Amino acid sequence: MAQQIPGFKTTQLSTLDPMQKQLYGNLHQQLGPGLSSGVNYLGNLASGNPDAYAQMEAPAFENYNKMLGQLGSRFSQVGARDSSAFDNLASQGASDLSQNLASNRNSIQQDAIRQLLGLSQNLMGQQTFQNFHSPKPNWQSILGGLASEFAGGLGSGISSGGSGIMSLLSKLLGG
């Protein structure tokens, strides 16, 4: 909405020609739902929402569990499944996985923040209209001047047989 300035009339004019307006409207209509869900997704990533990362991290957890099962099977084949070596290897793998996921989360979160900031800057920079302010006419002054002219013309018209009224009408009509 345009800012109102006392004593001025505000008018908004489009900076887009009709074809640009149509393209802009079509773009928003086509991208609206996808863009909205994309922004929501980026917002969840940027906020660190665990649910946003769960789907991305699920394959890493599956791979870790699969790898842990394979290692357990190998250790069992040599009779060392209950050894501290297996426990240490499993703990180290869990620690590495946790560190890698945390690093990936930080990187993804920072990228999401940058993307949201870039998107907002692009949207904020797109000006589709321009505001113009023009002084409002001071009707009291204009009408007061006309009233005094009319009264003066009327008085002159009565005393001079109507030529004053004709002069007043001529002034009012730009003659």
What pLDDT digit, counting tens, does each position of 39-49 carry? 888 888 888 89
Spatial neighbors of 3 by CB under 8 A, at least 6 apart, are: 10, 131
101 with 127, same domain: the answer is yes
Burial of residue 153 (CB within 10 Å: 0-12, 13-18, 19+) is buried
For residues 86 and 130, membership in a common domain is answered with yes
Q: Is residue 157 part of a domain?
A: yes
- Per the structure, how many domains does the chain have? 2
In this structure, is residue 1 part of a structural domain?
no
Residue-wise pLDDT for 113-128, tens only, equals: 888 887 766 666 667 7
Domain contains 146: yes
Hey, what amino acid is at 46?
A: A
Tell me: do 144 and 58 sit in the same domain. no
In a domain, 118, yes or no: yes
pLDDT, tens digit, for every residue of 50-88? 998 998 899 999 999 999 999 899 989 998 888 898 899
Task: Evaluate whether residue 3 is within a structural domain.
Answer: no
- Domain carrying residue 113: 9-136
24 pLDDT exceeds 80?
Answer: no
Say if 24 falls within a structural domain.
yes
Residue 77 vs residue 2, higher pLDDT:
77
φ and ψ at residue 9, rounded to 5 degrees? -95, 130
Q: What is the pLDDT of residues 108-165, one digit of tens each?
A: 999 888 888 877 666 666 677 777 777 776 666 656 666 666 665 555 545 555 555 5
Say if residue 15 is in the same domain as residue 96: yes
pLDDT band at 101; cut points 50, 70, 90: very high
